[in-house]
Each structure stands twice: as C-alpha cells, then as structure tokens.
C-alpha cells in the first residue's frame, strides 16, 4: 500500500510543477485487525463463557488465632472453568482450601452453590461441581504439544473483574513449582501473560481456544513471570478426584534434608549419586520406623533407583508403591545397608 502511494506521488501527483491532492481510501476497521488480534478475540469469545468466578467463604471459628480477633467469616475469590457439560469445574486447591461455602457465578450472571468434589494440594488442583446440565464446556488441549514462543491467552477474574483477558507467549516449559504441601509440581508452563490475584484457577488457552494450563501463580517482585499447571497433569488429577475424591500417594514417615556426600564415600561404594537425604526425624509407628531406619542415616536409593534428594523420593512415592515391599538403600556411619520397607498410603496433614 505504501509503495503504491509513493508511485502515485511520483507519477501522478506532481505534473507541471503543481501538486495534486490524493484521495486515500481507508479500509474498514475489520480489515485492520491483524492475525494476532483475531486470534486473541476468537479464543476469548470461545472460552470466556465457560470461565467462572468463585466466591469462597470459610468459617474462622475454631481456627488458631492471634492476639487480634479474626472475623467470624473469611472470604476469598478466584477463578475456575467448566470442563464438562454437567457442571464440573477445574480450579486451584489454594482457592477452595478449607472452604465452607463456595458461590459460583457464571459470566451470564447465573449463580450456583458449588460442591467441592475433591482437591489435591500436592498439585494445587481441585474440582468443584454445580448442579445443572448443558453448560458450555471448554475444550481441553494437550500441554505436551505447545512450544516456547507460542501465543497463549489467560482468562480469569483478577480482583473481581470478571472475564479479564491477557495474552502473551509460552516463556518456558518443564519448570517445577513447589506446592503448599512441599512437593514439587513438575511440567509447569511459564508464561508472560499477565496474572493477578484472582486469576488463580483460570484457564491458559491457545489461539484456537484449547485449554493447555491452569493458571496458578506469579512472582510478585518480577514482571511477566507467571506459571500454569499443564492441562495433561490437570486431566489426570481431575479424573481421580471425580472418581475417588482424592489422589492416593505413598509415604514412609520421615523428615529429612538434602546433604552432599563425601567424595571418598561415593568412590568407595561406587554410588551413582553425590548427594542424599539425611534422616533427621522418624514418625512413630511409621513404615520408616518399622524398617529399622535411624536418625542420622543417609538415604541414597529407593527400589534400586538412585535418590539425590527429597524431591526424587517424592516422585517415587506414588500410588503404586502403597503396600509394596521395597528396598531402601542407606549409608549408616561407614556401612551401606539395604532395608526392606513397605510404604503406606499418605494421610492429609492436620495443617492442610
């Protein structure tokens, strides 16, 4: 267009020393929308009707207080999105944790009372259900297929502003984020699509409107560093929560800390690791106590697999390990021992 105007100027507009005015035809606004704008608009129009606002109320009576009196009712807000036509909603665990009442508001103004189906603090995911049918549900995508640099759109209710849309790109893949329970959440998506308090639990979607993540956190001191849980993780967790109301994991009942190993010890025992878990405490009547584990032992292996730290052990303590006899490799003083241990199903902590 610019070259065409220049040609008109050079050939037609100046003749005989006189300048001629040009009649520039302005295209309609729709033609000015670039591909980026159209992608964001189409994704927002497709997904926004399924994004809900969660108003959470928690009774503070009976909870541990401070010298200042707590209000009788604590309130919080967050986001979520309907992923089945019969009213199942995905959100973050920290949004609905300890909730006594959940009010769900749809973009069209309809309000429902939400029932907490189940939550998993270890992945910061929860499922809420509202009674009804024929709800407009989102399309769940595949978080394994997204690429760094890909356009993504975040939709939520920051500070109560319903269906706020922000956009950005996938900044990185395969990040790890520590949950409130202390476990690492793997395969986290990093994005620069702006998130604010209240966005938690909302969807992160592609330009086609497919949900690829559940928005969960941002770094307040930074700009443009936000995180979402991959939708593949969310689909697995949601399925288990709907079926059983919880996620089963195993535990062995110890407290520990990561420590480096002496190089001469690594060489002497030909260990495949250079660090391990120093056992600092053991729970009463736990699998660790029954296995003969002692404070001061250093765990370097579990089920004949190397263990470099607590996060490695957490990843191995899955549902499949519950009730299964397993070998625990430990260093005790100058000895290398193999102890038989039978992990049990983990129980929620009282502070959770």
Question: The domain that contains 269 carries what CATH number?
Answer: 2.30.42.10
**Domain co-membership, 278 together with 256:** yes
Which residue, chain included where needed, has tokens 């900044």? 171
Half-sphere exposure of 180 (CA within 13 A, CB side): 16
Count of Cβ atoms closer than 10 Å to residue 152 Cβ: 25
For strand 184-191 and strand 111-120, is the pairing parallel, antiparallel, or unpaired? unpaired
Confidence class for position 16, pLDDT limits 50, 70, 90: very low
Q: Mark whether 124 is an active-site residue.
A: yes
Q: CA 131, CA 123: separation in Å to the nearest integer? A: 26
Q: Mark whether 98 is an active-site residue.
A: no
Instruction: State residue 61's pLDDT score.
Output: 55
**Of the ranges 23-37, 174-188, 297-311, which is most confident?**
297-311
Task: Tell me if 237 sits within 8 A of 120, measured CB to CB.
Answer: yes
User: Quick check: is 20 in a domain?
Assistant: no
- How do the residues of the chain divide into helix, strand and coil, expressed in percent and rounded to 5? 20, 40, 40
Higher per-residue pLDDT: 185 or 21: 185
Please tell me what DSSP assigns to residue 50.
G
**Domain co-membership, 122 together with 182:** no
Task: Tell me if 50 sits within 8 A of 138, measured CB to CB.
Answer: yes
Percent of the chain with pLDDT over 90: 66
**Given phi > 0 = left and psi -120 to 50 = alpha, else beta, which region is 153?**
beta
Domain region containing 152: 139-240
Q: Mark whether 200 is an active-site residue.
A: yes
**Domain co-membership, 197 together with 265:** no
Count of Cβ atoms closer than 10 Å to residue 25 Cβ: 5
Instruction: State residue 71's pLDDT score.
Output: 55
**Domain co-membership, 280 together with 310:** yes
**Domain co-membership, 256 together with 338:** yes
Confidence class for position 217, pLDDT limits 50, 70, 90: confident
Least confident window among 64-78, 96-110, 304-318: 64-78
Instruction: State residue 25's pLDDT score.
Output: 58
How is residue 71 written in tokens? 């209000």
CA angle 261, 267, 271 (to 5 degrees): 65
**Domain co-membership, 98 together with 155:** no
**Domain co-membership, 108 together with 181:** no
User: Span 262-287, mean pLDDT?
Assistant: 94
Q: How many domains does the chain have?
A: 3
User: Quick check: is 225 in a domain?
Assistant: yes
User: Span 46-67, mean pLDDT?
Assistant: 78
User: Quick check: is 105 in a domain?
Assistant: yes
Instruction: State residue 28's pLDDT score.
Output: 60
The pLDDT of residue 34 is above 90: no
**Domain co-membership, 174 together with 226:** yes
**pLDDT tens-place string over residues 143-158:** 999 999 999 999 999 8
Percent of the chain with pLDDT over 70: 85
Catalytic residue among 79, 179, 200, 275: 200
The pLDDT of residue 297 is above 70: yes
Which residue, of 177, 206, 240, is where some domain finishes?
240
Which residue, of 129, 152, 169, is where some domain finishes?
129
User: Span 307-328, mean pLDDT?
Assistant: 92
Which residue, of 221, 240, 259, is where some domain finishes?
240
Instruction: State residue 21's pLDDT score.
Output: 47
Q: CA 119, CA 97: separation in Å to the nearest integer? A: 8
User: Quick check: is 38 in a domain?
Assistant: no
Each as own residue / partner, the long-range contacts of residues 312-319 (CB below 8 Å, 24 or more positions apart, any chain) are: 313/277, 314/183, 314/184, 315/184, 315/186, 317/249, 317/250, 317/251, 317/252, 317/343, 317/346, 318/249, 318/250, 319/247, 319/248, 319/249, 319/250
The pLDDT of residue 5 is above 50: no
**pLDDT tens-place string over residues 241-267:** 999 998 999 989 999 999 999 999 999
Instruction: State residue 8's pLDDT score.
Output: 42
Mean pLDDT (the chain) is: 86
Instruction: State residue 162's pLDDT score.
Output: 84
How is residue 130 written in tokens? 């509202």
Task: Tell me if 104 sits within 8 A of 132, measured CB to CB.
Answer: no
User: Quick check: is 123 in a domain?
Assistant: yes
User: Quick check: is 222 in a domain?
Assistant: yes
**Domain co-membership, 144 together with 114:** no
**Which one, of 137, 127, 144, lies nearest residue 240 by Cα?**
127
Instruction: State residue 163's pLDDT score.
Output: 87
Instruction: State residue 29's pLDDT score.
Output: 60
How is residue 280 written in tokens? 């600092």
Instruction: State residue 336's pLDDT score.
Output: 94
**pLDDT tens-place string over residues 100-149:** 999 999 999 999 999 999 999 999 999 999 998 899 999 999 999 999 99
Q: CA 81, CA 182: separation in Å to the nearest integer? A: 26
Report the SS3 class of residue 14.
strand
Higher per-residue pLDDT: 205 or 133: 205
CA dihedral 219, 225, 230, 234 (to 10 degrees): 30
**Domain co-membership, 234 together with 262:** no
Count of Cβ atoms closer than 10 Å to residue 339 Cβ: 18
CATH for 170:
2.40.10.10
Q: CA 327, CA 301: separation in Å to the nearest integer? A: 8
User: Span 162-186, mean pLDDT?
Assistant: 90
Q: Please give the model's pTM, rounded to 2 decimal places.
A: 0.80
User: Quick check: is 35 in a domain?
Assistant: no
User: Span 347-351, mean pLDDT?
Assistant: 60
Residue 99's H or E segment, with its range, is none
Catalytic residue among 48, 93, 94, 250: 94
User: Quick check: is 32 in a domain?
Assistant: no
**Domain co-membership, 201 together with 267:** no
Residues 6+ apart with CB under 8 A from 107: 48, 49, 51, 52, 162, 163
Confidence class for position 13, pLDDT limits 50, 70, 90: very low
Q: CA 191, CA 222: separation in Å to the nearest integer? A: 12
């Amino acid at each position: 267009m610019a070259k065409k105007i220049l040609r008109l100027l050079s050939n037609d507009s100046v003749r005989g020393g006189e300048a001629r005015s040009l009649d520039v035809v302005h295209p309609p606004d729709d033609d000015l929308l670039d591909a980026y704008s159209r992608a964001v608009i189409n994704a927002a129009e497709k997904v926004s009707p399924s994004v809900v606002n969660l108003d959470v109320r928690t009774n503070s009576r009976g909870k541990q207080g401070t010298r200042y009196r707590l209000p009788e009712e604590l309130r919080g807000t967050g986001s979520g999105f309907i992923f089945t036509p019969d009213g199942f909603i995905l959100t973050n665990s920290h949004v609905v944790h300890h909730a006594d009442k959940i009010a769900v508001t749809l973009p069209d103004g309809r309000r429902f009372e939400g029932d907490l189906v189940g939550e998993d603090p270890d992945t910061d995911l929860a499922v809420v259900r509202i009674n009804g049918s024929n709800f407009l549900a989102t399309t769940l995508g595949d978080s394994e297929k997204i690429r760094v640099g890909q356009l993504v759109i975040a939709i939520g209710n920051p500070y109560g502003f319903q269906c706020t849309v922000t956009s950005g790109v996938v900044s990185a893949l395969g990040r790890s984020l520590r949950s409130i329970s202390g476990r690492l959440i793997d395969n986290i998506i990093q994005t620069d699509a702006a998130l604010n308090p209240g966005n938690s639990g909302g969807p992160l979607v592609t330009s086609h409107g497919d949900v690829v993540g559940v928005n969960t956190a941002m770094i307040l001191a930074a700009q443009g560093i936000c995180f979402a849980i991959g939708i593949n993780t969310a689909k697995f967790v949601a399925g288990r929560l709907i079926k059983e109301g919880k996620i089963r994991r195993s535990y062995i009942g110890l407290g520990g800390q990561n420590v480096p190993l002496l190089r001469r010890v690594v060489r002497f025992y030909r260990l495949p690791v250079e660090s391990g878990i120093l056992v600092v405490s053991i729970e009463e009547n736990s699998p660790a106590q029954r296995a003969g584990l002692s404070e001061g032992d250093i765990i370097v292996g579990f089920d004949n697999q190397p263990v470099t730290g607590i996060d490695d052990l957490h990843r191995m303590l899955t549902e499949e390990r519950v009730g299964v006899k397993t070998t625990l490799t430990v260093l005790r003083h100058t000895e290398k021992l193999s102890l038989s241990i039978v992990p049990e199903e983990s129980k929620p902590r009282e502070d959770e």
